[in-house]
Amino acid sequence: AQKVTQAQTEISVVEKEDVTLDCVYETRDTTYYLFWYKQPPSGELVFLIRRNSFDEQNEISGRYSWNFQKSTSSFNFTITASQVVDSAVYFCALSEAKDNFNKFYFGSGTKLNVKP
Amino acid sequence: DAGVTQSPTHLIKTRGQHVTLRCSPISGHKSVSWYQQVLGQGPQFIFQYYEKEERGRGNFPDRFSARQFPNYSSELNVNALLLGDSALYLCASSSAPGTKNTEAFFGQGTRLTVV
């Protein structure tokens, strides 16, 4: 069965600090996709990144970076020099690689509070 | 272009009532999925529709049903509401039914409160 665990329920940092959000997943599939979404108070899930299980290269996008390690089934997300606007709930998600079906398994989320 | 739109944004219902939630996908997208997000938890998959056919169903009781219309918009219906149905209901739209080469875009959700 598919499962995503985000052990950090809530994290508080001061602006400009770096912060890492942890994500551990379980799946028996050899091909799958991993995602990170940001959920601001408005409720909408904002797409941040999608990673194919065959691509273990780390990715950097501005202040955001992602570390995918298949050996430990982890897909961690780091925000460098955090800003108040980064305050939100962040979800890690897993989906199977299917042609005719699209289902996300979400973790329970990590609430990030960035204080000025 | 408009993103995924959901209506209403907020709703208060009484136990035992019925509710209908609506979703319009991004223009050109033919797949719509519904998720339930209870406070403090991650979203849980309810249904996926593609080209008006049900492609997947999550572990929800038969009180939950959905359908997709010829214009690809969708309705989620919940009968005999329970207090535990209080949640944010999210709709996701994608251009294809699968996950291999497509992204899912979420709406802002409908916040349902059952009293």
pLDDT higher than 90, residue A100: no
Q: Is B85 helix (H, G, I), strand (E, B) or coil?
A: helix
B55 to A50: CB separation less than 8 angstroms, yes or no = no
- Mean pLDDT to the nearest integer, A32-37: 93
Cβ neighbours of A43 in B, within 8 Å: 88, 90, 108-109, 111
pLDDT higher than 70, residue B100: no
Round the average pLDDT of chain B to a whole number and report it.
93
Token digits of residue B111? 């916040």
Minimal Cα distance from A6: which residue of B?
Answer: B42
Q: How far apart are CA B26 and CA A20, in angstroms?
A: 32
Q: Give kind and range of the element (H or E) at residue B111.
A: strand B110-114
User: Given CB atoms, is B90 within the 8 Å cutoff of chain A?
Assistant: yes
A40-60 pLDDT tens trace: 988 899 999 989 898 888 888
Token digits of residue B61? 């009781």
- Residue A53, sorted as left (phi over 0), alpha (psi -120 to 50) or beta, turns out to be alpha
- Mean pLDDT to the nearest integer, A8-29: 96
pLDDT higher than 70, residue B55: yes
Token digits of residue A57? 């290269």
pLDDT higher than 90, residue A26: yes
Round the average pLDDT of chain A to a whole number and report it.
93
- Mean pLDDT to the nearest integer, B69-96: 96
Residue of B23, B48, B100, B102 to mutate, interface with A, max A Cβ within 10 Å: B100
Taking Cα atoms as reference points, which of B5, B8, B6 lies closest to residue B112? B8
Cβ neighbours of B42 in A, within 8 Å: 4, 6, 91, 93, 106-109
Which residues are bridge partners to A73 per DSSP? none
Question: Of A4, A96, A101, which is closest to B55 when you measure between CB atoms?
Answer: A101
Minimal Cα distance from A111: which residue of B?
Answer: B40
B94 to A102: CB separation less than 8 angstroms, yes or no = yes
Q: What is the DSSP string of chain A?
A: --EEE----EEEEETT--EEE--EEE-S-SSEEEEEEEE-TT-PPEEEEEEETT----EEETTEEEEEEGGGTEEEEEESS--GGG-EEEEEEEEE--SS---EEE---EEEEEE-
A53-81 pLDDT tens trace: 988 888 888 999 999 999 999 999 999 99
Residue A16: is it exposed, middle or buried by C-beta count within 10 angstroms (0-12/13-18/19+)?
A: exposed
Question: Of B41, B98, B109, which is closest to A44 when you measure between CB atoms?
Answer: B109
User: Which band of pLDDT confidence, cut at 50, 70 and 90, is reported for residue B101?
Assistant: low
Cβ A91 vs Cβ B90: under 8 Å: no
